[in-house]
Structure 1
Amino acid sequence: MKVWDLHCDTLYELRRAEKAGAPKSFLHNDLHIDLEKLQQGDYLLQCFAAYVDLADPAPGADPLVSVLEEIDIFKRLMAAYPEKIAPVYTAADLERNRAEGKFSAMLTVEEGGCCKGSLGVLRRLQELGVRMMTLTWNYPNELAAPNANPGGPLVANTETGLTERGFAFLEEMERLHITADVSHLSDKGFWDIANHSTRPFAASHSNCRALSPHNRNLTDEMIRALAEKGGIAGLNYCASFVDADSAHPKLCRSTVERLAKHAAHFKQVGGIEVISLGSDFDGIGGQHELETAADMPLLAEALRREGFTEDEVEAIYWRNACRFFKNNL
């Protein structure tokens, strides 16, 4: 079963290893994702996020420099293994890579604050290959407010959303065909995009709030709005997004059975076409039944046990995301 994953933080981990003087091989490493694991998991495409933490305590840390360095790693990986993996900037790239038997890789950004409010930076990121971007991570920036309160209670933010600059970014992102990613946005920010967007948008790594009441998950109303706009949501394997019950920390809460329940809820509320995969690999710790990219067949089996047909499993695994990006790149 081919796999299309909307989100991982592997570039961040590879950059961190380089900065520590212990670079990791992308062919084989101890991360959730490497080329060998992608092959074992039968991947079609992996979205690689250039992720930055605006609160990075490193001396002289600059979010734009961090993102550009992760993009540089992405480019170097594509150059180092051209016979195995190739970037996707257009729908034609995807078809060519498939015909040549290569994995595809799509460049995204997690934290629109790296642009420092500059539309010029946004345009240059698009030229470098960025095709999807979250407006925030866990901190407010020039563009929008997040659904996070680091160190505080996880309460949904229904008061502050996109700024005036954020709306300008949304308009330019749509013109550039950079998909707006609402994962991490405040509830108000989600509705700002839902009500003002003219193109489909995505929640690259968010689950169902009805099953796990984490503020990073989507309410039923959000799922319906996302589906009505022709958008997609990627199932996130992070334990607290899968199962909110942390009373038994030694137990694995991120199981394929629970993920399949989230998929079933997405289907009931928004229809089968809204569901995709958004692992958050290399951005999540703790126990997960899907330990690495190599374990993806386990989720397909759980979806079948949950009652999904083979056609529906295929839609969740890659077809929905493939259709979405073919229409929106």
Structure 2
Amino acid sequence: MRLPKIFDGHNDLLTRLHTAGAGADSVARDGQGAIDMPSARAGGFGGGFFALWVPSPVDVVAKIAAMQGDGYDMPLPGMVPQTEARRVVDAQIALFEDLVALGHLTHCRTVEDLRRALSGDSLAAILHMEGAEAIGPDLDELDAYHDRGLRSLGPVWSRETIFGHGVPFRYPSTGDTGPGLTDAGQRLVRRCDDLGIMLDLSHLNEAGFWDVARLSHRPLVATHSNAHAVSPHARNLTDRQLDAIADSDGMVGLNFAVAFLRPDGKMRADVGLDVMMRHLDHLIGRLGEDRVGFGSDYDGAMVPQALISVADLPKLRTALRAHGVDDALMEKLCQGNWLRVLEKSWT
């Protein structure tokens, strides 16, 4: 099954290409990651939020080993200088624009753009910034990036920025791990609201989450997060947070990252799709059927063995059918709910 196409809340293709020094033309072939054009066609992948993210140096082997223990608290990297962040972000935007020029992506700035792209052959693509390190406290860069098509922004990745604090990779833990938004962060929220840039709460700590809930008049959205009640990881959302998202008529994209799926919090790929169904049931139970979608974290996380790339998405649809998902709910989960919340977020 390849229909309806899946529109996804988060991927890190741009970071993968930039880090590998690969050109945009490599996406036309079977590649080394989770997303390429042959795999997208095979799996019915319609596109999603394409993240601009600045990586920090990390010992990946040591991180994976630590996150396979019964509990862990990974130290967060320090702040990234704005000049370095802008260099990386601008290079990734250039890759994004090359992908558009080659016809692999359609840059979507409106819901009408998304609808047209989802019915076509290229991938519907929203330009998203994961961590606002490339933006200064006066927010001039935010307006400039908006002019280039930025329509979604997370004030932080897990590390600290001048705008606020992210949650650590900690298990077990809640997201109540530090202070809320800074004065600059509060200005950022208000300006994003004014511009119609959707705010992503996925990596914000709880204090920052509640600051956004207080300041923003837009729906609360977490593009790639899971249910803390199923997996008590710092990155996952508590029932109180989910209720606030529901009250705002917002949205959560179910994250495929195994450490946030597994009840034991371990970074191990041997996890069945039944665990995803447990998160899905809990999210729908708190949010309702109109406020849940997918936020895979493809090309940025270890995912279940059954869903290694977007070519495997038919297995997810099969699992959803077996779980009792009918045609109407399938359409909502795969794309309709994202279109709904973006209509409210961008107008």
Query: TM-score normalised to the size of structure 2?
Result: 0.86
TM-score by length of 1: 0.90
**2:47 alignment partner, one of 45, 48, 68:** 45
Does residue 255 of structure 2 align to residue 252 of structure 1?
Answer: no
Partner letter of residue 27 of structure 2? F
Post-superposition offset of 1:107: 0.7
- Could you say if the C-alpha distance between residues 287 and 265 of structure 1 is closer, same or farther in structure 2, counting changes exceeding 3 Å? closer
Give the deviation of 1:57 after TM superposition.
11
2:11 to 8, 11, 25: 8
Conserved in 1, the CA contact under 8 Å of 2:232 and 2:265?
Answer: no
Matches within 5 A, 1:278-317: 278-285=295-302, 287-317=304-334
Instruction: Write the mapping of 1:175-254 to structure 2, written as runs, cut at 5 A.
Output: 175-245=194-264, 252-253=270-271
Whole-angstrom CA distance in 1 between matches of 2:328 and 2:185? 38
Deviation at 1:85, TM superposition (A): 3.0
- Cα–Cα, structure 1 residues 250 and 230, in superposed 2: closer, same or farther, change >3 Å? closer
Corresponding residue number in structure 2 for 1:270? 287
Separation of aligned partners in 2, 1:136 and 1:57 = 10
Cα distance change of structure 1 residues 208 and 59 upon mapping to structure 2, 3 Å threshold: closer
Question: Is 2:137 the counterpart of 1:120?
Answer: no
Conservation of the 8 A alpha-carbon contact between 1:53 and 1:63:
no
Distance 1:251 1:139, change over 3 A: closer
Which 4+ runs in 1 deviate beyond 6 A?
A: 21-24, 56-61
Show structure 2 runs of 5+ residues with no match: 57-76
CA contact (8 A) 1:239 1:288 kept: no
Aligned equivalents of 2:258 and 2:339: distance in 1?
26
Aligned CA-pair RMSD:
2.5
How big is the shift at 1:187? Answer: 0.8
Structure 1's 93 and 287: CA in aligned 2 closer, same or farther, altered over 3 A? closer
User: For the Cα contact (< 8 Å) 2:218–2:344, is it kept in 1?
Assistant: no
Name the % identity. Answer: 29
- Three-state SS of the structure 2 residue aligned to 1:146 is coil
Shift of 1:24: 7.0
Deviation at 1:61, TM superposition (A): 7.4
Structure 1: 5+ residue stretches without partners: none
Query: Matched residue of 1:7: which SS?
Result: strand
| SS of match in other structure, 1:273 | coil
The 8 Å contact of residues 261 and 306 in structure 1, kept in 2 or not, is answered as: no
Q: Who is 2:94 aligned against?
A: 72
| Distance in 2 (alpha carbons) for counterparts of 1:57 and 1:327 | 32
1:85 aligns with 2:85: no
Q: Distance in 1 between matches of 2:206 and 2:181?
A: 10
| More displaced 10-residue stretch of structure 1: 287-296 or 212-221 | 287-296
Greater alpha carbon shift after TM alignment, 109-118 vs 60-69: 60-69
CA deviation after TM superposition for structure 1 residue 250, in Å: 6.2
Contact 2:24 2:98 in 1 (8 A): no
SS in 1 for 2:305: coil
Contact 2:174 2:236 in 1 (8 A): no
Matched residues in 2 for 1:189 and 1:40: separation? 39
